[in-house]
Amino acid sequence: MLTVEEAQAKVMAEIVPGEAEVVPLADAHGRVLREDLVARFDAPEADNSAMDGYAVRADDIAGAPVTLSVLGDVAAGHLAQRAVEAGTALRIMTGAYVPEGADTVVQIELTDGGTETVRIDKALARGANVRRRGEDMRAGQTVVKSGRRIGAAEMAMLAALQKTTVRVGRRPAVAIVSTGDELIGVDEPRAPGKIVNTNAHLLAALVRETGAEARVLGIVRDNREATIAAFDDALQSDFVLSSGGVSVGAYDFVKEALDVLGAEQKFWRVAMKPGKPVVLSRARDRVVFGLPGNPVSCFVSFHLFVAPALRKAMGQEEHLFPAAVRARLASPLRSAGDRRVYFRVRLTSEDGELHAHPLATQGSGSLTSMIGANGLAIVNEGVEGVEAGAIVPVLVIGEIA
């Protein structure tokens, strides 16, 4: 059986970054940047004031307290009409260009605030409170590299560079196939033996969180023909993500259907819990993930295998895998020791230290074990238990409060 790392390497080997497309700036948030962002101008474009105060010559205030005559105002967005000369000052607002002749800004708090004349109480070093031209970025400088996911900071940078359009990775379409005779839709009446198809909603949300496009194709009954037909249709999308039907049950048809469709199976089982039966296949040049049916198995195997693949497919080059941290365990974990186990935990930051609180139920069908889980604590093969207070490795899969 493959280790998780071996399986991840096999997944990533199947993925090449897909095409890029040009989108309006307003649609760029959450997408993967596919061009280097290069500053076209120095920013700021000229020396400007970091404070509301007075633009002065440092030499004039060396003997503070001194009084200077005020020649007028220079507000943000406006240019000074006069230069500062010996013995004079201009009242200046934050962001306004420092006028000719001045080299220093005295913040208003160090003055009497006068408009005709101003008393400066304190000498300042030359250049104080001046933001220098180009101190943020220089023309020609690469400020964001291709391959980065576009968040709020990148949106601000794109705007600063006046990029009204931007090249981003195309969103791969991910077909979501839910297998199982027991499944009903959210709006169908409950019936004995039937359960709601929660995986379709779980997986669609996880797909969208990566930035890819989810296509929910619906429920497929557990028979050979229906399963073949469903995968045949699903293979029109860039990726196929199925749940259920990959175990050794008498009604598990996913692998057989993929065989019939000429798929090349890359692996079937991974030494992990939950989620041992995970299939990776390639068919008609599409990558197919056959995830197990249990919701938590879907959840964990999505974070470990599918999300990194989708990110790479969009051209993302960093943070492909969940970050690993070390956290102090709040309550003990028990394992059979035969496989690596991923326990759902709630990571908290307490007094500068991360703590991992295992969710109360850890069954692979437990939806409650996913609510509030922002970490997957790892207990390795061969280890049968970890006591409270021990430090454990945890994969971060959500925001830490």
Interface residues with ligand AMP (CB under 6 A) are 178, 180, 182-183, 195, 197-199, 243-245, 247, 249, 292-295, 365
Confirm if 20 and 315 have CB atoms less than 8 A apart.
Answer: yes
Give the nearest distance from C-beta 20 to ligand AMP in angstroms.
33
In terms of CB distance, is 245 or 358 closer to ligand AMP?
245
Nearer to ligand AMP, 34 or 255 (CB): 255
* CB 216, min distance to Mg ion, A: 18
List Cα–Cα distances, 379 to 101, 337, 339, 376, 385, in angstroms. 67, 8, 9, 10, 8
Element (H, E) at 245: none
Dihedral (CA of 284, 263, 278, 323) sign: negative
Site size toward Mg ion, by CB under 5 A: 4
CB-wise, 72 or 218, nearer to Mg ion? 218
Distance between CA atoms of residues 374 and 388, nearest Å: 19
Residue 219: CB minimum distance to ligand AMP, A: 8
Tell me whether residue 62 or residue 229 sits nearer to ligand AMP (CB atom).
229
Contact present, 71 and 89 (Cβ < 8 Å)? yes
Local structure of residue 305 (DSSP, 8 states): I
The SS3 assignment for 270 reads: strand
Could you say which of Mg ion, ligand AMP, none residue 292 binds, taking C-beta under 5 to 8 angstroms by partner kind? ligand AMP
* Structure-block tokens of residue 66: 């001194």
SS3 call for 51:
coil
Q: Could you give the string, one character per residue 250-289, with x where binding to Mg ion holds by CB under 5 A and - elsewhere?
A: ----------------------------------------
**Nearest by Cα to 72 from 116, 38, 41, 33:** 116
Q: Which of 53, 172, 211, 244 binds Mg ion (CB under 5 A)?
A: 244
At 229, the amino acid letter reads A
Q: Which residue, 88 or 178, is less far from ligand AMP as judged by CB? A: 178
Q: Which of Mg ion, ligand AMP, none lies near 335, with the C-beta cut-off 5 to 8 A by kind?
A: none
Does 180 sit near Mg ion (CB under 5 A)? yes
Using the rule CB under 5 A, give the single segment among 31-39, 142-150, 186-194, 240-248 that binds Mg ion.
240-248
Shortest distance, CB of residue 178 to Mg ion, whole angstroms?
9
180 vs 308 by CB, closer to Mg ion: 180
End-to-end CA gap in the chain:
36
Q: Which of 178, 176, 285 is nearest to 240 (CA)?
A: 176
Task: Using CB atoms within 10 Å of the CB of residue 129, give its burial: 0 to 12 exposed, 13 to 18 middle, 19+ buried.
Answer: buried
Least separation in angstroms between CB 204 and ligand AMP: 11
Report the interface residues with Mg ion, using CB under 5 A. 180, 244-245, 293
